[in-house]
């Protein structure tokens, strides 16, 4: 049975789940969620996910939410992208928690504030603080990647596919790949993986569709 992923192109968190399925060679189909017109706030959607967020993954009778949980499930289901030992799995989880708290958790909010929030509601102090927090985390990643190809193990894992979730988007959010040469090369390695696609090519919905 084909896995369904409730998603939209602008969501970096949905992209993590979609990218994991593509790289793992899993058959799946997107279900477009009209986030910008309030679909995730409707009672019908809240029955699917009480948190009112994407992604939501449906695999048969199983419904999962939160990108990291979905990635963990997909890795366990396929035996791919999760490390080769318990120690490696813990290292994978370490970087996924780091991403959730300090990379994507900040970059996603920053990008939303700078691009999708109405201009009158954008707060320069908030943007400045979020940018500082994001760049502090990116410096840690860039240093870590200086002498290694992948974040957690000697091959690509869901940790890499989590931490890159917002870093391919074209909208300005103070991130410039040229500032981070090791992250830049790492992103090139990820985009060379079989199944990689840009988020706007992988999932329905983009700013151009709403222009």
C-alpha–C-alpha distance, residues 98 and 159, integer Å = 9
CATH 1.20.1050.10 domain extents, the chain? 86-191
Q: Could you read off the pLDDT of 181-203 as tens digits, one per residue?
A: 999 999 999 999 999 999 999 99
Q: Dihedral (C-alpha) 45, 49, 55, 57: value to the nearest 10 degrees?
A: -100
pLDDT of residue 211: 81
CATH 3.40.30.10 domain extents, the chain? 3-81+196-210
pLDDT of residue 137: 98
CATH 3.40.30.10 correct for 3-81+196-210: yes
pLDDT of residue 163: 99
pLDDT of residue 19: 99
pLDDT of residue 1: 81
pLDDT of residue 105: 97
Residues lower than pLDDT 50 in the chain: none
Dihedrals φ, ψ of 174, to 5°? 70, 10
C-alpha–C-alpha distance, residues 51 and 53, integer Å = 6
Class level of CATH domain 86-191: mainly alpha
């Amino acid at each position: 049975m084909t896995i369904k992923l409730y998603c939209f192109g602008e969501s970096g968190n949905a992209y993590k789940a979609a990218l994991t399925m593509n790289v793992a060679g899993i058959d799946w189909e997107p279900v477009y969620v009209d986030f910008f017109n309030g679909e995730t706030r409707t009672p019908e959607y809240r029955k699917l996910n009480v948190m009112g967020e994407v992604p939501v993954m449906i695999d048969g009778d199983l419904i999962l939410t939160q990108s990291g949980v979905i990635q963990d499930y997909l890795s366990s289901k396929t035996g791919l992208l999760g490390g080769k030992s318990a120690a490696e799995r813990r290292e994978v989880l370490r970087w996924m928690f780091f991403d959730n708290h300090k990379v994507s958790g900040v970059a996603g909010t920053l990008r939303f504030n700078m691009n999708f929030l109405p201009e009158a509601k954008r707060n320069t102090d908030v943007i400045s603080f979020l940018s500082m927090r994001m760049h502090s985390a990116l410096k840690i990643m860039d240093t870590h990647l200086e002498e290694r190809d992948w974040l957690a193990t000697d091959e690509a894992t869901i940790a890499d596919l989590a931490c890159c979730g917002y870093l391919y988007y074209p909208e300005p959010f103070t991130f410039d790949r040229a500032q981070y040469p090791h992250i830049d090369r790492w992103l090139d390695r990820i985009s060379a993986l079989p199944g990689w696609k840009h988020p706007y090519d992988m999932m329905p919905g983009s700013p151009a569709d709403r222009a």
